[in-house]
Amino acid sequence: MTRKERYEGITGWFQANMPEAKSELDYMNGYELLVAVILSAQCTDKRVNMVTPAFFKRFPDAVSLAGADFNEVLRLISSISFPNNKAR
């Protein structure tokens, strides 16, 4: 089975069995969901939801985040757990 076939099988299962999966994280698109999930490790979704509005205002897409200064990212996420690791 190829990676693509495995991917399609897994995503197909989730779409069939969990078509309306919900998350406590606030997000508007895939980029925001990915960032919020990374930030939520060992942290509450409530805390992440407090941090992400300012974070996404400053870094609205992956391109802007890719060019971000480490210290600026660290400042924005300093109130969540393990900010030094997550800022990398």
Q: What confidence score (pLDDT) does residue 1 get?
A: 85
- Mean predicted confidence (pLDDT) in 66-78: 95
Domain boundaries, the chain: 23-87
Q: Is the pLDDT of residue 69 over 80?
A: yes
* pLDDT (tens digit per residue) in 5-63: 999 999 999 899 988 878 899 999 999 999 999 999 999 999 999 999 999 999 999 99
Q: Model-level pTM? A: 0.74
Sign of the alpha-carbon dihedral angle for 40, 34, 36, 68:
positive
Q: What is the CATH number of domain 23-87?
A: 1.10.340.30
Q: What confidence score (pLDDT) does residue 68 get?
A: 95
* 21 CB-near residues (< 8 Å, 6+ apart): 14
d(CA 40, CA 62): 18
